[in-house]
Amino acid sequence: SVSRTYGAANPSIDASTLYGGPASYVFGPAGDGGLVTPTVSTSATVTSNVDDYAFTGDGSLNSDLGVVYRVVYTGVLSVTPAPLTASLSGAISKVYDGTLTAALAADGYTFTGVLNDDVVSLSAPSAGSFDTKNVGAEKTVTFTGLSLTGAGASNYSLATTELEGDIGEITPASL
């Protein structure tokens, strides 16, 4: 079995991958050896979703003494999730209400690592908070319990389930 990350090209699969040994073998009588030359195929492409895909190797070993051996192999190519990094962007602001509660808007974060025009977003965080409840700018805002949603979410692994940044602002309440 071999693996690759979502969005990457399929790995080069050679005789050592397919057959668990070197590309050349020694058979039978002394001096009889040969070179394995497999042809490998799979349905997985660079845009294939995270999953396991069968691949087959079909090749031959032409021995030095003229004997031709057919070598067939089946295996699994595992496409694993690509790393995805989220970061806070813009400003997160609210009017003073005496609490630490912060809300993450849909445009309050960006992603690095989205491929193939996939649709991915962050789930509503379970908790978001300002570092203090006091009025001020450049306040630290933290969101925890993040996860991915969207049609392409299963193709990614989120680097962290917490985001933090000094992008918070609490403005004075009107009296």
pLDDT tens by residue, 4-48: 999 999 988 766 666 555 555 555 566 666 666 677 889 999 999
**Nearest to residue 113, comparing CAs of 3, 8, 2?**
8
Q: What is the pLDDT of residue 174?
A: 93
Quickly list DSSP for 103-130. ---TTSEEEE---TT---EEPPPSEEEE
Tokens for 71, please give them: 């070598």
pLDDT at position 20 is 58
Whether 78 contacts 8, CB under 8 Å: no
pLDDT at position 158 is 94
**pLDDT at residue 62 greater than cutoff 80:** no
Q: Which residue has better confidence, 89 or 74?
A: 89
Q: Which of 100-104, 105-109, 113-117, 127-131 shows the lowest per-residue confidence on average (mean pLDDT)? A: 105-109
Q: What is the pLDDT of residue 61?
A: 73
Helix (H, G, I), strand (E, B) or coil at 3: strand
Q: What is the mean pLDDT of residues 71-85?
A: 90
| Beta strands at 121-122 and 51-63: parallel, antiparallel or unpaired | unpaired
Does 50 or 104 have the greater pLDDT score? 50
Q: Residue 43: CB partners within 8 Å, gap ≥ 6?
A: 53, 54
pLDDT of residue 27: 56
Angle at 70 between CA 68 and CA 72, to 5 degrees: 160
pTM of the entire structure? 0.76
Contacts of 118 (CB under 8 A, 6+ apart): 150, 151, 152, 155, 156
| pLDDT at position 149 | 94
Confidence at residue 69, expressed as pLDDT on a 0 to 100 scale: 74
